[in-house]
Chain A
Amino acid sequence: NFMLTQPHSVSESPGKTVIISCTRSSGSIASNYVQWYQQRPGSAPTTVIYEDNQRPSGVPHRFSGSIDSSSNSASLTISGLKTEDEADYYCQSYDSTNWVFGGGTKLTVL
């Protein structure tokens, strides 16, 4: 099994852009899709990106996903930050029989 490593926390000001990274410990990041989930305090998770860079219906274009084989990592980019974006963000991928979650990144918008 591999691990996904995320920064514990990031912070940025409203209107700015933030990038949250997710680094895969072994195996290629490109070999399995990466998803990103947002969880606001006290709420259920919601999906902001699936299959590396796809947005579910209703997710603003401010959210985008990408993968970088050179660093073996995935990234979630949130542009035009709003206070409502303050939440925990989890990356997720999988192997042949298991999901793997990153530890989560707490985004503070201040």
Chain B
Amino acid sequence: EVQLLESGGGLVQPGGSLRLSCAASGFTFSSCGMSWVRQAPGKGLEWVSAISGSGGSTYYADSVKGRFTISRDNSKITLYLQMNSLKADDTAVYYCAKGVRSSSWYEADYWGQGTLVTVSS
């Protein structure tokens, strides 16, 4: 059974940093692209970032480019999102999502339960 478990969310002040983790199980992690998608309170889904199975290719939404960094440790079967220079607009539930294959950074077939990030003073 595919499982994705996010952690690392919490309350942070504007300008602060946070690192999210997504622990994966139930599939061959290194064979799947992975993504982060967020949802602000009461709003729709917004894609944040994606990474190929090998980690060699990364992609970012314009809204986070230069502030967020996606990475993965295939030996630890974990996906990360380093978030710096956080703004109030980054307040959202952050979901990690699994791609179908190594190159499929552009889709998701399974999702985690999400972790809440609140940026506020």
Contact = CB atoms under 8 A, between A and B. Distances in A.
B106 A101 contact: no
B8 to A, nearest CB: 16
B108 interface: yes
Given A45-B95, A99-B106, A90 B44 contact: yes
B44 A44 contact: no
B56 to A, nearest CB: 15
Interface stretch (B66-74, B78-86, B111-119): B111-119
A44 B106 contact: no
Interface residues of A, number: 22
A44 B46 contact: no
Interface string A31-50: 01101010100001111001
Contact of B45 (A46, A94, A98, A101): A101
B44 A50 contact: no
Given A44-B113, A50-B100, A98 B108 contact: no
Contacts of B62: 98
A53 interface: no
Contacts of B106: 32-33, 94, 99
B59 A97 contact: yes
A33 B101 CA distance: 14
Interface string B27-67: 00000000101000000111100100000000101100000
Interface of B: 35, 37, 44-47, 50, 59, 61-62, 95, 97, 100, 106-114
Interface of A: 32-33, 35, 37, 39, 44-47, 50-51, 56, 90, 92, 94, 97-101, 103-104
CB-based closest 6 A-B pairs: A99-B47, A94-B106, A104-B44, A56-B109, A47-B109, A101-B45
Given A37-B111, A45-B95, A94-B107, 17 more contacts: A32-B106, A33-B106, A35-B108, A37-B108, A44-B95, A45-B37, A45-B45, A47-B108, A47-B109, A51-B100, A92-B107, A98-B61, A99-B50, A99-B61, A101-B45, A103-B44, A104-B45
